[in-house]
Amino acid sequence: MRSDGSVKFQGRTRFLGEALAGELTGWVEADEDSWQIWFGPAELAIFDASAGAIWPLGKTVSGPCRGR
């Protein structure tokens, strides 16, 4: 994780959040088009590779989180 809360994944920089700046996150392939994003024992989000979007868990969102 970079100092601004972003991570480089699949050749692109993706923003996860300033609270995670400098922290280690885990990306676990769930299927061919999606990855689970973990911080320690907590699953934070799903990365949808086909849409290029990060979907946070635990709340309703109107669209993907595309960064800043």
**Is residue 47 assigned to a domain?**
yes
Tell me the whole-structure pTM to 2 decimals.
0.77
Would you call 14 helix, strand, or coil by DSSP? strand
pLDDT of residue 68: 41
61 within a domain of the structure (yes/no)? no
Is there a domain that residue 26 lies in? Answer: yes
Query: By three-state DSSP, how is residue 19 classified?
Result: helix
Q: Is residue 66 part of a domain?
A: no
Does a structural domain hold residue 62?
Answer: no
User: Alpha-carbon distance 34 to 54, whole Å?
Assistant: 10
Q: What letter does residue 58 receive in the DSSP assignment?
A: S
Q: Which domain holds residue 43?
A: 6-56
Please give the tally of structural domains in the chain: 1
Instruction: Indicate whether 10 pLDDT > 90.
Output: no
- Residue 35 pLDDT greater than 80, yes or no: yes
- 67, part of any domain: no
Average pLDDT for residues 21-32, to the nearest whole number?
92
Residue 68 inside a domain? The answer is: no
Compute how many other C-beta atoms are within 10 angstroms of the C-beta atom of residue 45. Answer: 20
